[in-house]
Amino acid sequence: MSATSPLAQLDDVRLEDAYVPAPGSCDEMRAADGGLRPHWQYLIDTLRQLGRGGIETRWREAHRLIRDNGVTYNLHGDPRGMSRPWELDPLPLLLRGEEWAELERGLIQRAELLNAVLLDLYGPRRLITQGLLPPELVDGYPGYLLPCHGIGVAGERPLVFYGADLTRDTHGHWRVIGDRTQTPSGAGYALENRVVLSRVMPSLFRDSHVHRLAGFFRGLRRAMNRLAPGDAPQARVALMTPGPANAAYFEHAYLANYLGYTLVQGADLSVRDGALWLRTLGRLERIDAVLRRVDDCFCDPLELREDSMLGVPGMVQAVRTGNLTVANALGSGVLEHPGLMAFLPELCRQLLGEDLLLPHLDTWWCGRPQDREYVLANLDTLVIKPAGGRTDDPVNGGPGQRVLFGRNLGRDARARLVAQIQAEPHRFVAQEEVKPSTAPVYVDGRIEPRPFVLRSFSVAEDDGYAVMPGGLSRVALSKDTPMVSSQLGGLGKDTWVLATEPEREESLLGLQDTQSPAVVRESDVSSRVADNLFWIGRYAERAEGLVRLLRVTAINLTARSSFTPEEQGIGCLGTLLEALNEQCHGNVPLPTGAEPAALAAPTPELLSLITDLERVGALPQTLQALGQAAWSVRERLSSDTWRVINDIERHLRRLTGQPPRTLNAALDVLDPLVTSLVAFSALTQENMTHNEGWHFLEAGRRLERGLNLAALLRSTLVTVIPAPEEGLVVEAILGVTDSLITYRRRYQAGTRVGALLDLVVQDEANPRSLAYQILRLSALVEDMPQDPMGPVRTAAQKGMLRLLTELRLAGLDQLAQPDADGRRRGALADFLTAQEAGMAAVSDALTAQYFRHEEHPHHMIEHRLSAVRR
């Protein structure tokens, strides 16, 4: 490869001359004779026309779209955690339509074969009784779930969704290197790759005549509706996820939105009367089918893995009784046994009467004596895989990898591995080591070859299987890596199957089912979702209130850093610090004297509250909690709303990654942060359907704003300070509540406590007043789902009625009047304390009525231990 051309290769030389694949490997763009493959010519010509600047612009645009859309993939141990952006290469992988048609036939045959094997293993088991499969291969594998034996399958295709990992060998022939039959992931990322790349290079995409993906997802939706039990015209389908901590949670939320399915976790579901139900607010709704992203052994702690907190007790029984369809079928993980590949050619001839069209890696299962002997004799040239989870690491003697390369083992490590194979041969599989084929990747301003693996996807139709045209290509960052895996880092890559003529643009929304009703109204807001939305509202409002108070305090402190004790402002600043201390749970050390030097002491503390992620009650923790709550209901937020969430997270990283060292520098970040928080509030108000979920988000917002306002007024106005200072405090409160302009227009007799209370306590038309929060919260509580068999008024409704009545009957003159000693406003303190307590009681009542789950899987041993402790 030319060593003189970072990016210059695009401007000064022919691109194809600067691209040199590694010797001994098959490359997608260059043929074996070194020539450019014809179907890549148009892409190369386009890149040359774009030049260095054009490619860089599109690369940045792709990354911006991924960031704004919140596309993430979590790598274990990555410090960015769930916020790690998905990495996408801007160059697509190109495949000729004729070649794809041949590969498609092999993938369909393989899906049919694996489906037939699955039906037999959980049915008559003839493959075992006839000696075509050893019983140790199946029964000794953790993926074979005995409780699922004999369960009937609707449509006779338990393998509804199938993924195959592919690469080319050195001769350019496609080989299967792995089968994904439990929960094949990546289809959502493939779709997002397509969306992004078609936007950043629209003319190239259009002129290349790329096969579309929407038809495949329509097939998936048809399959789930067809397999669902009962005669309902529109099946209720849920997509079951392990939760936000899963590496591919973005994909789960993305597919649920795209397919129109409800995204659920195990805690959202319950099995009753042999059927699966979704716990919504105040009622249960029947689930007909589940597209799962939870490994099958975790799906039912009652009959499968008893320590699982991800599944639903009784799910296996619901499937057994025919009231529920799960895709893929529980127990389909047995097909991922790497040793099964050794038997597939003969099984294909026996079950389908055909030779296997699509070859896989040469495989040896050590449970067969002849295979074991070959493996032990050729260990240095093979890749060893444990059959059923991780094996002991022969190098370190502890938990090890899923793959061991024989050539990398030292003498002692090799001896330990040999001993393990001889002791438990059925637990080990060996495969030939294959060098992955390469594809062009845009890396550091250059186009270079990198190893890649293509994951294809197939879905069961009425008369067979349909294959996604393309799939998800994953590319290694290093040229010399022996493995390509998303969990090892690397890039995603869009895969274009090129048609000979233009493709018709498709959308999942384009076709209508004439058998379905025009409108189906149903609630799919579970208690968990409502709880998270409620806290999104609270955290967003808490963050906004804290930022506003921090801004006013910081401005007050920086503006009065050089006055003398006789000047105005000292009492105001101390009062603001007291209010900040109240909102931050007592985490702000207050000045101990009235000297200006004492007033400078809070500066480091204020900066810590703005930037310290480890500090309880500080702004970064509140923003982080907002992001986590939003991530938990990712599927409920629109793309525009998620872009604002990403903006808030960028401000958070700016505050914590390189913390500002001065208050003025901190204000430069707090100002746009307020704008983002206000934008989030506006989007949830104007762009979110005002359904049950929105009611809880809005209730959380109004409740938190009311609590913050009451606490602010109590900590600033109850203690009486001299009139000039009190005027500054009133002005500061008006700044925090964003009510200064209205106050100046309405009240022209100066800054008075009574006028302030009229505007920010009792004015029901002021969106920042306490009365407005109570009035809105009361209406929201009235509209929440009610138990028809419950009391006429719930505890939350009674609490809101009490709060609103007390607020409207309060006398402002009495509240503003100091006590006889002139030091304190006792009536105001009692009123605000009562309002805070009442709102806290309403929060507790909503939690008790809607959010608390009493039904959880419990284990008998835990009950006995608890009884002993009591």
pLDDT (tens digit per residue) in 661-696: 989 999 999 999 999 999 999 999 888 888 888 999
Q: In this prediction, what percent of the chain has a pLDDT beyond 90?
A: 57
CB 506 within 8 A of CB 103: no
Q: Which of 40, 36, 42, 38 is CA-nearest to residue 18?
A: 36
Residues forming beta bridges with residue 454, ordered by sequence position: 166, 473
Q: Where are the alpha helices (DSSP H) in 497-634?
A: 527-559, 570-583, 596-600, 602-611, 619-632
* pLDDT score, position 490: 67
CA dihedral (720, 721, 727, 729) in degrees, to 10, reads -80
User: How many whole angstroms separate alpha carbon 53 and alpha carbon 64?
Assistant: 16
Residue 161, pLDDT above cutoff 90: yes
Residue 834, pLDDT above cutoff 50: yes
* pLDDT score, position 4: 35
Q: The tokens 């407005």 sit on which residue?
A: 772
Q: Which of 813, 734, 800 is CA-nearest to residue 766?
A: 734
Residue 854 — very low, low, confident or very high, per pLDDT cuts 50/70/90?
very low
User: How many whole angstroms separate alpha carbon 521 and alpha carbon 476?
Assistant: 46
* pLDDT score, position 140: 87
- Render 578-598 in DSSP notation, one character per residue: HHHHHHTTT-SPPPSSSSHHH
Residue 16, pLDDT above cutoff 70: no
Q: Which of 714, 706, 708 is CA-nearest to residue 781?
A: 706
Q: Which residues contact 260 (CB under 8 A, 6 or more apart)?
A: 221
The 10s digit of each residue's pLDDT in 433-462 is 888 889 999 887 788 899 999 999 999 998
User: How many whole angstroms separate alpha carbon 73 and alpha carbon 296?
Assistant: 22
Largest CA distance in the chain: 101
Residue 215, pLDDT above cutoff 70: yes
The 10s digit of each residue's pLDDT in 360-396 is 999 999 999 999 999 999 999 999 998 875 433 333 3
In a 10 Å sphere around its CB, with 0-12 CB exposed, 13-18 middle and 19+ buried, how is residue 224 labelled? buried
In a 10 Å sphere around its CB, with 0-12 CB exposed, 13-18 middle and 19+ buried, how is residue 117 labelled? buried
Residue 318, pLDDT above cutoff 60: yes
Domain range list for the chain: 8-83, 93-338+436-498, 362-432, 526-688, 721-852
Residue 848, pLDDT above cutoff 80: yes
Inter-helix orientation angle 663-686/639-657, to 10°? 170
Tokens of 136: 């140790």
Q: Is the dihedral of CA 305, 310, 311, 312 positive or negative?
A: positive
* pLDDT score, position 98: 94
User: How many whole angstroms separate alpha carbon 268 and alpha carbon 264?
Assistant: 6
CB 646 within 8 A of CB 594: no
Residue 537, pLDDT above cutoff 90: yes
Higher-pLDDT residue of 155, 473 = 473
Inter-helix orientation angle 795-809/770-783, to 10°? 150
* pLDDT score, position 796: 93
CA–CA distances in Å: residue 414 to residues 375, 417, 423: 12, 5, 14
* pLDDT score, position 18: 73
* pLDDT score, position 175: 95
- Per DSSP bridges, beta strands 491-498 and 93-96 are parallel
Q: Which of 560, 799, 567 is CA-nearest to residue 663?
A: 560
User: How many whole angstroms separate alpha carbon 729 and alpha carbon 549?
Assistant: 12
* pLDDT score, position 486: 54
Tokens of 821: 């000693």
- The CATH number given to 362-432 is 3.30.1490.270
For residues 538-552, average pLDDT = 95
Residue 769 — very low, low, confident or very high, per pLDDT cuts 50/70/90?
very high
Mean pLDDT of all residues in the chain?
A: 85
Residue 131, pLDDT above cutoff 70: yes
Residue 866 — very low, low, confident or very high, per pLDDT cuts 50/70/90?
very low
* pLDDT score, position 262: 92
The 10s digit of each residue's pLDDT in 85-100 is 888 899 999 999 999 9
Residue 67, pLDDT above cutoff 70: yes
CB 102 within 8 A of CB 205: no
Residue 108, pLDDT above cutoff 80: yes
For residues 852-863, average pLDDT = 41
* pLDDT score, position 517: 45
Q: In this prediction, what percent of the chain has a pLDDT beyond 70?
A: 85
Tokens of 581: 């201390």
The 10s digit of each residue's pLDDT in 417-431 is 999 999 999 999 999
**HSE, side-chain direction, 13 A CA sphere, residue 471:** 25
User: How many whole angstroms separate alpha carbon 225 and alpha carbon 219?
Assistant: 10
Q: Which of 260-274, 575-589, 597-611 has the highest mean pLDDT?
A: 260-274
Residues forming beta bridges with residue 449, ordered by sequence position: 440
The 10s digit of each residue's pLDDT in 362-371 is 999 999 999 9
What's the predicted TM-score (pTM) here? 0.86
Higher-pLDDT residue of 152, 715 = 715
Residue 231, pLDDT above cutoff 80: no
